[in-house]
Amino acid sequence: AVCGKLDEMTGQAIYAFVSLKSGQTGTAEFADELRDHVAAKLGKFTRPKYVTFTQELPKTRSGKIMRRLLRDIAEGRSLGDTTTLADSSIVHELQQRAKIEVTQEE
């Protein structure tokens, strides 16, 4: 899933939350490979500035990705209502990983 994150230089930077297959781990090299692939296939302006790997994305009980939560996590904002989440532990994990990703890129 992809969302925007405020960026001083461009207005909004692309933030990609990448769900990995079971047993795979995300590395810095894999993130760079993903960025290069997106830039080559879709254009340099679509290259994600931030990439956070996860095993699961936050979804509702009916299986829809909660993009509002992803935007809030990317921006470091308070999450608000999370009562419709299927698994709330995913959000805490994503918040921790996003903090690390943003710190590394800035």
**DSSP 3-state assignment of 5?**
strand
pTM check: above 0.85: yes
Dump pLDDT digits (tens) for 87-97: 888 888 898 88
Dump pLDDT digits (tens) for 13-68: 999 999 998 878 889 999 999 999 999 999 999 999 999 999 899 999 999 999 99
DSSP 33-66: HHHHHHHHHH-GGG--SEEEEES---BBTTS-B-
Q: How confident is the model at residue 78 (pLDDT cuts 50, 70, 90)?
A: confident
As beta bridge partners, residue 60 has 85
- Top pLDDT among 61 and 100 is at 61
Predicted pLDDT at 106: 62
In the chain the domains, ranked by start, together with CATH numbers, are 2-105 (3.30.300.30)
Instruction: Give CA–CA dist 66/62, Å, rounded.
Output: 11
Q: How confident is the model at residue 100 (pLDDT cuts 50, 70, 90)?
A: confident
